Amino acid sequence: MKQICVVGVGYVGLVTGACFADLGNRVIALDVDEKRIANLNNGIMPIYEPGLEELVKRNVKAGRLTFTTSYADALKGAEFAFIAVGTPEGVDGAADLQYVEVAARSLAQHMTAPLIVINKSTVPIGTGDWVADIVKSAQPKPIDFAVVSCPEFLREGSAIADFMSPHRNVIGSLDKDAANKVAQLHLPLRAPIVITDLRTAEMIKYASNAFLAAKISFINELADVCEAYGADVKEVAAGMGYDARIGRYFLDAGLGWGGSCFPKDVQALAFMAKQKGLNPRILNDVVDVNYDRRRDVPKQVEQLLGGNLKGKTVGMLGLAFKENTDDMRDAPSVDISNALIAAGAKVRAYDPVAREAAASHMPAVEIVADVYEMAKGCDALVVVTPWNEFKQIDLEKVKGLLKSPVIYDGRNIYDPARMYEMGFTYRAIGRPSKNGRG
């Protein structure tokens, strides 16, 4: 059993803390947000993440996980301190490091024994060295410490499974002893451990996210070519995916990527390249291709309706940036609803969990609590988030409720042949149209 302090109880911090506690460690999770900590102490989660509530409650009950707002309490007896605070996108796409700075400074001011400071947040290359400088200069008296980069690779919606069964863990530090101690913490996860230097570890995180985003933008560009030639992008992706060099993951064509990670990380990597006088052409295109898809939705719906959107009601199936989360950060639904409204449509929407979170992002959208209520009287539907619930809805019933049976399937969740058979005017992304050819 090791004693660990985790700074920040957002997605990354809370999942990391709860999972390390579940592995038998003693974890004290800290946040400066008093309400969040009070809520956690009352069993109320700050986010929706499948399995998290049970995991937190189980470990709190076992006495392995506690919450505090006090750095002094959090550091008492701690050998490791994870920094897992937000790094939002700042001006020009650069990552905003103010929360990392406060965390590093506060750790330095309150540590009373040697400490390994581990950075989990996604931070620009060189931040680990900067954190080391901050800790050194903010310590009231010199105490041994090391800074290690250990980037997170958790996906919202499957964060616990991703933590417990990782593809790899990356540990970056020039301090071999500290790196080995952090490696020991991860041994129970039985995954490959990459030990490298700080900057390389930081880069592995950006490179991984940018590559995954590029994979999605690639398949989305290819989807248009498939559609133009009557090929089916879903089957193309499946066929490509059997090649282990390519892999099937992250080849789902659709309305593209959003969320709290890919948008800011691709921009931040491009920004870092530009700062060094480089021209990151691929990264720039990865971003453009992605956002074009959202902008294109009103045109696509108009084509299906055979007329413009003025006075029409469009229903959105899904609001969260992806399924199994209530996260609305850079959710395609926001841009899409704005674009539909700008084109003259009224927009109604339904999401199984993100209704509350979405409300402030789209005041002009009528968000309802039932998928069939949403469909009632709509001229067209757009599938925005691929929730499982939508795959199972009673399409006959939906068809009966719609003013006209039009569906733009932005996540390719339905079978085109079946939709045509049922009499829908249906369009998917990168899949053959009714007569089989583009």
Catalytic site positions: 261
User: Considering the rule CB under 6 A, would residue 257 count as an interface residue with ligand UGA?
Assistant: yes
Please identify which residue in 154, 223, 365, 371 interacts with ligand UGA, judged by CB under 6 A: 154
Q: Which stretch binds ligand UGA (CB under 6 A): 18-26, 192-200, 255-263, 267-275?
A: 255-263
Q: Determine if 251 is a binding residue for ligand UGA (CB under 6 A).
A: yes
Answer whether 413's CB lies under 8 Å from 386's CB: yes
Q: Which stretch binds ligand UGA (CB under 6 A): 109-117, 228-236, 244-252, 269-277?
A: 244-252
**Least distance in angstroms from the C-beta of 363 to ligand UGA:** 23
| Residue 252 to residue 236: CA distance in whole angstroms | 10
Q: How far apart are CA 254 and CA 428, in angstroms?
A: 8
The β-bridge partners of 148 are: 118
What residues form DSSP beta bridges with 317?
350, 383
Q: Which helix (H) or strand (E) holds 103?
A: helix 98-110
CA angle at 218 for the pair 215 and 219, rounded to the nearest 5°:
90
The structure tokens listed for 108 are: 């330095």
| Residue 228, number of CB atoms within 10 A of its CB | 11
Give residue 387's identity as a one-letter amino acid code.
Answer: W
List binders of ligand UGA among 118-137 (CB under 6 A). 122
Sheet of 80-83, strand order: 65-68, 26-30, 3-7, 80-83, 115-119, 145-149, 169-172, 193-196
Q: By rule CB under 6 A, what string of x and - marks binding of each residue 314-333 to ligand UGA?
A: -------xx-----------
Choose between 216 and 233: whose C-beta lies nearer to ligand UGA: 216
Q: What is the DSSP letter of 149?
A: E
Tokens 């992706």: give the residue. Answer: 237
User: Would you count residue 258 as binding ligand UGA (CB under 6 A)?
Assistant: yes
Regarding 266 and contact with ligand UGA (CB under 6 A), the answer is no
CB of 65 to ligand UGA, least distance (A): 21
Number of Cα atoms under 13 Å in the Cβ half of residue 126: 3
Give the x-and-dash track for 192-221 against ligand UGA (CB under 6 A).
-----------------x--x---x-----
Site string for ligand UGA, 155-194 (x = CB under 6 A): xx--------------------------------------
Task: For residue 252, state whether it binds ligand UGA (rule: CB under 6 A).
Answer: yes
Nearer to ligand UGA by Cβ, of 111 and 204: the residue is: 204
Secondary structure letter of residue 89 according to DSSP: B
The Cα 203–Cα 263 span in angstroms is: 16
Separation between Cα atoms, residue 123 and residue 180, nearest integer Å: 22
Site for ligand UGA contains 302 (CB under 6 A): no
The CB-of-331 to ligand UGA minimum distance in angstroms stands at: 8
Among 104, 135, 198, 261, binds ligand UGA (CB under 6 A): 261
Residues that bind ligand UGA (CB under 6 A): 122, 152-156, 209, 212, 216, 250-252, 254, 256-259, 261-262, 321-322
